[in-house]
A and B are shown apart, each in its own frame.
Chain A
Amino acid sequence: MIKYIALSAVVFSIGAYGAIARRNLLIVLMSIELMLNGVNVALIAFARHYWDSLEVAGHAFVLMVMAVAAAEVGVGLALMIALFRTRKTVDAGELRELKG
């Protein structure tokens, strides 16, 4: 079971790298999806490991995470379209209004 948790940690770390080190907002959103997926693998592995509690909290939680991920992508991509229509860029580094 340890291998599934280790894979989850590796995928989460790769996603975290992408979310921090890339400036293309599309890639940042995809990296966040990767992080959520890494967590999903860990949740399902734990659900199988401690299978004796039959209310499968891990599985229920993964379904919630999927709904949250879908909502997040919907709103994120809508923001990106609104942004691209006015600024003609998807580069997070060029959005500096909040810098003062």
Chain B
Amino acid sequence: MTEIINDVLGDPVFAICALISVMGALTVVSRRNPIHGALGLMLAFLAFAVLFIRLNATFLAAMHVLVYTGAILVLFLFVIMLLNLSREELGREYGVATKGAIALLVAVMCGLLLFAIGKDPDLARPASPIVDRVLYPGSAQELRVAEDGGAGSKPWGGVDHVGTALFGRWIFPFELVSVLIIVAILGAVVLAKRKLPPES
């Protein structure tokens, strides 16, 4: 336990980003006004993007900012403004007792998760540094990756690396995602145009 705390304190970027993301997440679940929730969600997303860069996932950090902050959050804000909810239309919330019981349940689940994570000996060791490696050696997609990407190699987790893996090993799931997105577009158009039958 003490080494984890020392680990966090020895990494101020992580400590600050973790604090911001947890506070943003708590804003989302605690505030009554959805606009405040959306802004808290934005804080959490931006802090996560910084953490992704710390984990050498530079391409995914850019994608995260574009997709989550740029698209999903703007969609949320559009809908919040479109609905323009008044105080009464926000609906009632559960009482303090129900919320407390659910919070206790979730806290127990979180404690169990953290306990299991702390027991794992493999996670306790620090991540080994990234050295030069060759992806798909001998094929047309051959790519040398290294941590900093100097001297003829590409950065690990950069756009070349992730792109080569995505269009090599993961090409089938990638194509399936396009089917999913087309279905979602059609579903969203059909649902938003339809008027549900009034309550009987």
What is the size, in residues, of chain A's interface with B at 8 Å between Cβ atoms?
77
Min CB gap B83→A, angstroms: 5
Min CB gap A18→B, angstroms: 3
CA distance A62 to B59 in the complex (A): 11
| Count, A-B residue pairs, CB within 8 A | 269
Determine the chain B residues whose CB is within 8 A of the CB of A18 once the complex forms: 25, 28-29
* Complex partner residue of B91 from A12, A21, A86, A93, CB under 8 angstroms: A93
B76–A26 CB distance below 8 A = yes
Prevailing SS type, chain A contact patch: helix
Determine the chain B residues whose CB is within 8 A of the CB of A79 once the complex forms: 191
Q: Residue on A with the closest CB to B78?
A: A77
B79–A81 CB distance below 8 A = yes
Q: Decide yes or no whether B184 CB sits under 8 A from chain A.
A: yes
Min CB gap A62→B, angstroms: 6
A89–B72 CB distance below 8 A = no
Determine the chain B residues whose CB is within 8 A of the CB of A30 once the complex forms: 28, 34, 37-38, 41, 76
Q: Decide yes or no whether B87 CB sits under 8 A from chain A.
A: no
Interfacial residues of chain B within 1-43, with CB under 8 A of chain A in the complex: 4, 7-8, 11, 14, 18, 21-22, 25-26, 28-29, 32, 34, 37-38, 41
Determine the chain A residues whose CB is within 8 A of the CB of B22 once the complex forms: 7, 10-11, 14
CA distance A1 to B68 in the complex (A): 24
Interfacial residues of chain B within 68-111, with CB under 8 A of chain A in the complex: 68, 71-72, 75-76, 79-80, 82-83, 85, 89-94, 98-99, 102-103, 106-107, 109-110
A40-78 toward B: CB 8 Å interface, digit per residue (1/0)? 110011011101101111011011101111111111011
* Complex partner residue of B123 from A20, A49, A97, CB under 8 angstroms: A49
Given that A14-B25, A31-B29, A90-B91 are contacting pairs, would A37 and B63 also be in contact in the complex, using a CB cutoff of 8 Å?
no
B75–A77 CB distance below 8 A = yes
Determine the chain B residues whose CB is within 8 A of the CB of A71 once the complex forms: 180-181, 183-184
